Structures are given as structure tokens and as C-alpha cells.
């Protein structure tokens, strides 16, 4: 909570990105495809929910393994957040159901009991602990839209949140870390462990434009930076954290599911 607030802009983040330019490569094999098919099956949209195909982000053909890029954590990270599957804390916004599969980059085997931690801004572009940095006044719990969950036996972490808004100089995104060996604490948080990955999750521009045109996102007074204008996203698709988004209903307000496989180095 003593971090110095600053704008998470390309100017401030680009040097850190260069320092964290390590890439982790996953080799696609028959066994890999089978492993990730399991992850895809458990993270799919329930049959009772109809996906509008015009409102679904494109999926790269034959994408059985991904290249996961390390990216800067930015200035808004706070230690000691809750281990919980729902991080919304009543924040308004369109539902976002994330299913993130963690795999070992050497073997493509899924990793269980890894803590997948995320944090992002709300519809008005404000981060908990730093409310006001994007020009909007609202209550600040210091914990909203922050938290993480342990992966299950299939390596999948499921987190319920809301579609993020945007702030000065950055496209819509979510920050993510992957830890192993953490100890859960009595107050619902975690301590210790080893951090394996720091990255960001990105959103299809066509879908973001639809979301941004509707309330409460349309109340955000800051000009939105697009994916193409962003200085961190490098057009790498899933390689750079671009989520596969599937509509949960016929309207953007019904929300989306978001899936991605995160390849990490265990050594």
C-alpha cells in the first residue's frame, strides 16, 4: 500500500517489458493436444448458454500450445490479496468468467495447486488501492477486483470478475501472476511460494468496442487506447495473452467467458 502511484502507460512500462522479454515456448505434440483438449473441455461454455458467433473472438487454427510472454506487473500490484474465486466485491460491470490453464513449458503437463492471481481496473479505469488516479471518485476497499485461486487437478484456475475498463495510455487488460508452493493464511490470503510468471491478459478489440459503448463503461471519461495503439501488447495473439472470448448471451451485458493457456517455466 506504500507504492508510489503512477500511470501504467507505455512510457513507464516499456523499459520493464524489455527487461522481462523472456519467452517460454511450448512444443506442440500429440500428447500436448490431448492435455490441452482436457483443459478446453472443462472450461467450455455451458450448453444452456448460447454464444453469438458474431460476438466471439477469433481462435487461431491448430493452437494446441501457446507461447506465453513475460510482461511487466505495472505500478498497481498489491501484496497479500485474498485467495478467492470471485473477486468482484459487488463492482458493476459485465460478467467475465475466466478459465486459465497452467502448463509446464517443458512437458506441456498441466500444473495443479498453482496460485493464479489477477488484478485489474473497474469499469471507470480505477484500481483498488489507487482510486482517483483515472479521474473518478468512488469508494476504495483496497481489495476489489484483486485475488487468486489455486488450479485444480486439470491445471485450470476459474475466476469470476467483470470485464475491465480502461485508463490513460493502456488498452483493456488484466494483470496475472502464477505462483507455486504458496501457504494459505488464516485471513484468506497467501504467503511465500515461488513466482513463475508475470503477464497480462488482453481482449478482442471488436468485443471491447461493444462493451465500452454501454453503461457503466460509457461513463468512463478517459479516451480508450486500442490494442493497436497499446505499447505493451505486441499483436502476438495467444502468445501475448489474448484471451479467447465467448459470449454468455445475446447481449454484451450478459458477459463473456475467457480462456487461455499459460505456459510457465518451473525451474
- Residue 136 confidence class, pLDDT cut points 50, 70, 90: very high
Quote the pLDDT of residue 239.
81
For residues 164-186, give the mean pLDDT.
97
Domains of the chain (ranges, CATH numbers): 10-264 (2.60.130.10)
Interior/surface letters 29-52, b for 16+ CB within 10 angstroms, e for the rest:
eeebeebbeebeeebebeeeeebe
Closest CA to 260 of 19, 18, 26: 26
Residue 60 has pLDDT above 90, yes or no: no
Residue 122 pLDDT > 90: yes
Q: Per the structure block, which three cell numbers stand in for 260?
A: 487461455
Cα–Cα dist 267/248, whole Å: 38
Q: Is the pTM of this model over 0.85?
A: no
What grid cell was written down for 265? 517455466
Q: Is the pLDDT of residue 20 over 70?
A: no
Amino acid at each position: 500500500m506504500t507504492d508510489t502511484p503512477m500511470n501504467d502507460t507505455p512510457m513507464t512500462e516499456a523499459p520493464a517489458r524489455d527487461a522481462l522479454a523472456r519467452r517460454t515456448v511450448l512444443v506442440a505434440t500429440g500428447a500436448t493436444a490431448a492435455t490441452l483438449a482436457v483443459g478446453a473441455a472443462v472450461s467450455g461454455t455451458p450448453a444452456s448458454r448460447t454464444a453469438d458467433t458474431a460476438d466471439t473472438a477469433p481462435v487461431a487454427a491448430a493452437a494446441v500450445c501457446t507461447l506465453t510472454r513475460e510482461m511487466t506487473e505495472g505500478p498497481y500490484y498489491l501484496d497479500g490479496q485474498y485467495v478467492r474465486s470471485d473477486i468482484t466485491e459487488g463492482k458493476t460491470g459485465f460478467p467475465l468468467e475466466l478459465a486459465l490453464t497452467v502448463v509446464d513449458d517443458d512437458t506441456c503437463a498441466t500444473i495443479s495447486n498453482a496460485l493464479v492471481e489477477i488484478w485489474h481496473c473497474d469499469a471507470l479505469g480505477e484500481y483498488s488501492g489507487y482510486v482517483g488516479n483515472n479521474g473518478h471518485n468512488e469508494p476504495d476497499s483496497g481489495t476489489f477486483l484483486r485475488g487468486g485461486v489455486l488450479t485444480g487437478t486439470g491445471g485450470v484456475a476459474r475466476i469470476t470478475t467483470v470485464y475491465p475498463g480502461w485508463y490513460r495510455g493502456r488498452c483493456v487488460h488484466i494483470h496475472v501472476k502464477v505462483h507455486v508452493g504458496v501457504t494459505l493464511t488464516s485471513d484468506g490470503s497467501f504467503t511465500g511460494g515461488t513466482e513463475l510468471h508475470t503477464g497480462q491478459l488482453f481482449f478482442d478489440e471488436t468485443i471491447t468496442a461493444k462493451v465500452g459503448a454501454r453503461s457503466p463503461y460509457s461513463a468512463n471519461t478517459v479516451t480508450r487506447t486500442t490494442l493497436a495503439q497499446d505499447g505493451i501488447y505486441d499483436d502476438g495473439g495467444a502468445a501475448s495473452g489474448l484471451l479467447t472470448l465467448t459470449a454468455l448471451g445475446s447481449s454484451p451485458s450478459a458477459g463473456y467467458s475467457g480462456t487461455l493457456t499459460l505456459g510457465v517455466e518451473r525451474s
